[in-house]
Every structure is written in structure tokens, then in C-alpha cells.
A and B are shown apart, each in its own frame.
Chain A
Amino acid sequence: MPDRELRFRVFRHNPFDPESTPRMVQFQLTETPRMTLFTALTRIREELEPSLQFDIVCRAAVCGSCAILVNGKPRLACRTRIETLPNDITLMPLPFFKLVADLSVDTGQWFRDMGTRVQSWINAREPFDPNAEEARMSNETAAEIYELDRCIECGCCVAACGAAQMNPEYLGAAGMLRIARFLADPRDGRPEAAVFDVVSTEEGIFGCIGLAACEDYCPKDLPLTSRLAYLRRKTALLALRKSSQVEESTVADGYA
């Protein structure tokens, strides 16, 4: 459908500029073959509005920079083909995240904070020994971890999530997936209690209200709902075990 006249309505606001107010601005472009939203935004900035801010790095859907709301839905700009969109295209920054300016939001800071909250690192049991052979692992286990490690921190799952919009502390599907990634990793030695403390809260797995939009909008097709379900079961089991331990110790205390 090249040659279409495209009308972009784009959100603009710079919170660091005292004179700026939030507004929608219209831009027109003629469609070209194989145009993506990334090439369209680049042309708007180059030809029409050089001050327009948006984020892009890899243009190949691997870095997670360019998620925006396209006609109300979170998507990566780089891999959104214009031919799949109508003539009128409304672009908004992702909700939930702090606005940097225009279409740019601070997903980076949010994900760093999430990473710290869920301890997104290997809690190693032993120090690294540079002279030792690597610890063995089956290729199936490696592939399973890789599958859960593919998140690109674009923020689409959180932006699409009803629970997150009501609860700014919610760790989101991305946070839950990260925990599942370390649970699947035999190299990680975190105690189960530590997992339980993070997961079994309103900010964790019990914040999820089951709308499953996270998986619908994940550009990497990650198994978010199945991992959320897995964590829910795991947490329930841990809770059961914990309560039976509590009962046992109460009983023991009673006899002491």
C-alpha cells in the first residue's frame, strides 16, 4: 500500500522544560515500501521535528529500547511494519514508566530497580576457581534457562498489565519471569525463603489479576503466563510447608 498519506498524532511533553505542556502534535508522511515505525519516526525527526525524542538502538528487536503505544497497544517501533497499520496512527509513550520526554520513558531505571528487588544475579555457593573446569549442565537445562533469559526489558508486559497500572510497586510479569529464570538455574543457591519473601506478596505473584495481556504483547513470545502459574504453585507449596513447619515448631514450643 505505499503512497498512502499517513497521519501521525504524537504525544509531546518535556517534564524538564517548565514551559512545556502535554499535547498531541500531528505529522504527515507519505508511506514508502517496507516502512517501519522506526523509519517513520526517524523521518519525522529528520524532516519535520528535529527536537522529537524517542529511543532506539538496535533496530532489530533485540535491545528493547523502542517500545511505545501504537494506537493504544504496546509494541516495538522497530519491528512494527507500517503496512499493518491504518492511515491514522496515534503514538503515546508507554504508561506506568516515568516519562523522560515525548515518546521516551525510563524503562531502564525501572528494570534496574526491579533487578535489585528480585536479586537478578547468581547467588553463588562457592567462589570462582579460574583453574577448574566449568560446572557441567545438560543442554536441556541450558536451553530452558536461555528461554527464560530472553527478556529484553522493553516494558511491553508491564505497560499492558492492568494490575501494574493500579499498583506501581508490582514487579510485573518481567519481574516474575526473572525469578523463574534463577529458580531454573542450578548454579543459583538462593534459599527458598528468599524467593518466598519476594514472590508471595501483592507486589509479587498475588498482584497478578490474570488478564494475561503480558503474554499477548510480549514481543519475544516469552512463556509469561505459564511461568506466573508455576510461581503461584511454587509459592503455595512453600506456604504450605512453611505453615506446617510453624505448626510443628509451635507444638514443640508448647511441650518445652
Chain B
Amino acid sequence: MTVRSDLLVIGAGLAGERVAIEAASRGSDVILLSLVPPRRSHSAAAQGGMQAALANMAAGADDSPDVHFVDTVKGSDWGCDQDVARLFTDSAPAAVRETAYWGVPWSRVVPGRREMPDGIWVEESEEKAGLIAARAFGGTQSWRACFASDGTGHSLMYALDNEVLRLGIAVHDRTEAVSLIQDGERCHGALIRDLRTGELRPYLARATVIATGGHGRIYGHSTNGVINDGSGMALALNTGVVPLGNMESVQFHPTGVVPGDILVSEACRGDGGYLLDASGHRFMPDYEPEKKELASRDVVSRCMMRHIRQGFGVESPYGSHLWLDLRHLGKDHIERNLQEVATITRDFLGINAVTELIPVRPTQHYSMGGIRTSIKGEAYGLEGLFAAGEAACWDLHGFNRLGGNSVAETIVAGKIVGASVAEYLESDDSPVRQNAITKLAHESIKQTEARIVKLRNGGSEHALVLRQRVAEVLTEKVGIFRTGSELDEAVMELSELLDRSTRLGLRSSGRGANPELADALRLPGIIRLAITIAQGAQMRTESRGSHYREDYPHRDDVNWLKRTLATWPEAGEGPSVTYEPVRITDLPPGDRGYGEGSKETEGALSDA
């Protein structure tokens, strides 16, 4: 049975739902697809905040979209598109207010004086009482991260999905896109596997948006939910014509808990928490005298790993870690503003964050890379295909994303891309070649059915085994510190795994909505994605943001002020890599004010 709509949105997290709401409000007929019920999307796990320059706080009174722009560009280590960053920072204030209008219970400004953990007094003004409050986050000059306690993602997800309900937008949950239906020039929708019945169904649409989030799970150890394995990025890569941008740009968050890799929010440090080593020493000021714990995530993560390498880590059965100390923030603050953090440490570690230290270690968290799009969200390479959110490389984040800018991106880009898709649908008057499209859909079913038969007839390799090895290779060789020789090894071994994935078989019957079959169908795309990450990192012989090459420890603006574009040509054995210039408008490359190579750190961070 073929399903038709104007617009097909794959992924119903914050970005996908914001696209759908905008397009539906403008009259488009939309179907939202989701692996899980939309409110289970990993967007709901975002804790800390959404950056928008409302300038409501005393410690952000001079804030503006301009300051937000500068922070974002410096955070990206000049890797972002400055037109996109400008559009984003200008649009964020109205976007956050709109979510307040939809019901997000944003925490509000309480007037009066209070003492911060570091002894500094702040006084919130009477004039701003009751407006949306904000907290400090890393790499920012102002308190700008709007928050709903520490359930920001949850509250936003529920408010947006409430709007989806109100507008009556069709949601088909428990569906997985297996491939895009396309002819090399234009995208006509996607082939879907129903995760209730196992049935294959073509969804044909005049426009398709991929908003499937990140790929963290392919690293194994990741803060991401188990469904975040980059399958939407792989859908685009598998077309052979759509490039992924900057896949080597991978963020490691300083505070994943050990063991379990569950994230505790950057708000912990934003609200005044410290990082301590085995001897209880607060070490971040040694490396970053100015920003301390609130340098950007790439910088803090590297400082932590250097400190562990120098033998100051805490040994544990789960490897070395450091401590996050919230005790001095006090019970009231933790229970009100860091409630989710306190629950996580209690339930999963048996630790009381009010009186005890929390074991943390940098953990894979976010992909700045993704499906390369224009400022309007159009994917390169296929007409009628768009992308938004973490799945996309819109390129707001360059080589390091600021905390609070991803939640903000989903809402802001979702609105912009939703409007641009609606516009595209209105203006598109190309003839609908119905017969040709039906034929393409039919071919895509036959292709996938053939793959399923082959898997059921059984090869000798198992998806799970290969997938675990992919995760090990990425974690060991394409992690926080990278070297040319290790990246060579990674590309080689991942390519071998890709070859082995042509001989996959199933241990179970593979009938119906079998999860083993789902894993097996997804695996080759995931391995291609992993190779694309490793290959991009191997070729980029400089260090920029989160991409840190120990053999090339400096940023190289002469040769590398450019974005990696990788496609995977049909029948090719590896990605085909080209580059495009990075758009610099207002802010030429300079000192970030933190991290290696900054005057502020005065050599505290050696490049060794």
C-alpha cells in the first residue's frame, strides 16, 4: 500500500516536529514518521537549556544576537557558516518566546540579590521580573541558556508534540525509513519498514525532510539514546549523490557519568559546579584561568583527558574518571534547578549529588557534521530533499557546538526549514511523472525484499559482532585525540568490516518486525558513515575545535578554512571527498579566548 503526502518528515524529535508544525500551519499536507512515539525521541533527554539572547538576566544585560553570534563563531573555531549563525542568533529570541506561547514552563526571572557559589553577588532587576530566565553555559559571554528546570528538552518536546496534536498532523510511529526513493536528481519520498508488522511500504511525497538526529550510538559509549545511530545520515549517504558535511566533527561532552554514559547537564558547571581530580584538586583553573570549567566542551574535554593521562584520574573498574562536585551548590538549588541530575545520579549510580561526588568522563555526545544543506535546509545533490537538526550540517556549529545551541537549532532551523519547504511545495510546478515514480517505488521494494531474502538465507557474519567492532574502532582511533597512523588503521579496519557486512546472516527467523533484521538492514549504512567520519579526520591535517590531531596540533586557516563534503558513489569502495569554502562574513579567524593557542591560556595547555 502506497502512502502519499505533500511533505514527508522522517524523524519526530524537536527538529522534525518544528518543521512539520511550520509547514502544516502554512497549509502543507504533512506526514511525520518516527521510530518511536514522538515524545520518546532523544530530544526529550536534553536537560540544560536553549540559547537565545533575551538579555533578561543581570549577567546578560548587555547580551544581544550579535554577542550570541560571536560566541557561536568562536565556539565553532571559525568552522561554521556565518550567514547561518547570523540568521540563527537573530531568530532565536522570537523562537523561544513562541515555545513559551505553546506552553513551555520556562523558568522565570526572580528579582533580588543572591550570592553565587564563587562568592560573587548578582542582582536581578525588578523590571525583568517574570520574564524568561537564563543560566550560564560554556563558551558564552552572557547568561543566555533559557531553561525549564533541567528538563528543557522534555518540556519543549511535550509542548511541540501538543501543537502537532492540536493541528492534527498525521504521525506514523514505529516506522523506519530503509531507503530514499529517488532517481539521482530528485527525491520522491522513502521506503518504510513498519516496525509493528515488518511490512514494507513506499511513502511518496513531493518533499522529504530528514530530521533523525545524531549518530552517537555508533561509538558504543555515547550519551545518546539507543535509537540514535545516524540512520538518517546513512539514508542520504546511501543515495550516492547527497554529500555529508564535516563528519569528522564529533563532540565529546565533559560530563558523561561512569559507568553508564548517561549525560549530566552542562548546567551543573553553568550553575557553579567544579571538576575535581583524584586528590580533590579543582584542576580546570590550571588549564583555563579565565573560563575555568566553562570553556567550550572540546577544550574542557581535552583538559580532562590530559589530566587523566598525567595520572590524576580516579581509577575504577570502568576505567579512569574525574569528579563533578555540586555539593557547594546546596540542596535547594540542586533539587529545584538540577532535579533531573540528582535523580540520575541517585537512580543509576546510587549517589546523592547533594553530599557526594559524581564520577564523570568525556563521552561522545553530538555530531556537528551531517547532511549538508543550504541556509534554507535544502540538501545538496537531490531536489526535494531537506534536512534539519542534528542530522543536518546546516552549519551552525562548525567544529564545536556550544551547549544550548543544539536545542535552539532544532527550534530555529525547524521553523526556517519548515517555511522553506512550504514555499518549495507552493512554487514547485514540475510535472509529476507518476508512472516513473511508481516504478522507482516498486524497484526500491524489490531491492529491499531481495536484501531480506539474502539475510534470511544466511551468511556467516552477524550484525551485532560487526557493530561492536565498529564502535571499538571509532572510540579507540577516532576519539578525542587523533593521529594520522591510527586514523589510517581505522579506515582500513572499517573497510574490512564493510566488506564482511556483505555476508551478513540472521540467527532468528527474520520474520515480521524482527529487531535482528532491522539491525542487519541498517548496518552497511552505519559502517559507511563510520568510514566517512574516519576518512574525513584522516584527511584533515590540522586541529580545529573538537577535531584534534596530535600530529597537527595547530589550527591551519591557510589550508583548512573549508568544509569537508563526502559522498559515497554507487558501487564505490569509499567516500569521495571534496571541500567547499567556509563563509566568513563579519568575524575573521582569531583567538577563541580559551583553548590551545589562546593568549588567555598562556601555554598552560601544551601541545604535547
Chain A residues within CB distance 8 Å of chain B? 14, 16-17, 33-34, 36, 45-46, 49-53, 55-65, 79, 100-101, 107-109, 111-112, 115-116, 119-122, 124, 128, 130-139, 141-143, 145-146, 149-150, 152-153, 182, 185, 187-188
Within 8 Å by CB of A121, from B40, B103, B155, B317, lies B103
Q: Is the interface of A mostly helix, strand, loop or mixed?
A: loop
In the docked arrangement, what's the CA distance between A23 and B260, Å?
33
A100 close to B508 (CB less than 8 A): no
* Residues of chain A with a CB closer than 8 A to B105's CB: 142-143, 145-146, 149, 185
- Cβ-closest chain A residue relative to B261: A59
* Given A51-B514, A112-B37, A146-B155, 4 further pairs, Cβ under 8 A: A51-B516, A59-B262, A62-B45, A134-B131
> A62-B44, A134-B131 are known contacts. Are A143 and B101 too (CB-CB below 8 A)?
no
Residue of B107, B133, B154 with most chain A CB atoms under a 10 A cut-off: B154
> A128-B101, A139-B108 are known contacts. Are A146 and B37 too (CB-CB below 8 A)?
no
Residue B425 at the chain A interface, CB threshold 8 Å = no
Residues in B201-248 with C-beta less than 8 Å from chain A: 225-227
Report the minimal beta-carbon distance from A90 to chain B, rounded to whole angstroms: 22
A49 close to B508 (CB less than 8 A): yes
In the docked arrangement, what's the CA distance between A100 and B512, Å?
11
In the docked arrangement, what's the CA distance between A92 and B110, Å?
47
B515 close to A137 (CB less than 8 A): no
In the docked arrangement, what's the CA distance between A108 and B512, Å?
20
B45 close to A63 (CB less than 8 A): yes
Report the minimal beta-carbon distance from B53 to chain A, rounded to whole angstroms: 14
A108 close to B129 (CB less than 8 A): no
B512 close to A50 (CB less than 8 A): no
* Residues of chain B with a CB closer than 8 A to A112's CB: 37, 165, 171
B344 close to A60 (CB less than 8 A): yes
B108 close to A137 (CB less than 8 A): yes
* Residues of chain B with a CB closer than 8 A to A107's CB: 37
A150 close to B154 (CB less than 8 A): yes
Number of interface residues of B (CB under 8 A): 70
Chain B residues within CB distance 8 Å of chain A? 36-42, 44-45, 54, 94, 97-98, 100-103, 105-110, 129-133, 148-149, 151, 154-155, 158, 161-163, 165-166, 171, 173-174, 196-198, 225-227, 259-260, 262-263, 317, 336, 340, 343-344, 347-348, 464, 506-509, 511-516
- Cβ-closest chain B residue relative to A36: B348
A63 close to B225 (CB less than 8 A): yes
> A51-B514, A58-B44, A135-B100 are known contacts. Are A108 and B108 too (CB-CB below 8 A)?
no
- Cβ-closest chain A residue relative to B171: A112
Within 8 Å by CB of A150, from B106, B107, B151, lies B151
A58 close to B42 (CB less than 8 A): yes
A17 close to B512 (CB less than 8 A): yes
In the docked arrangement, what's the CA distance between A170 and B130, Å?
37
Report the minimal beta-carbon distance from B225 to chain A, rounded to whole angstroms: 4
In the docked arrangement, what's the CA distance between A179 and B496, Å?
56
Within 8 Å by CB of B509, from A51, A58, A61, lies A51
A134 close to B196 (CB less than 8 A): no
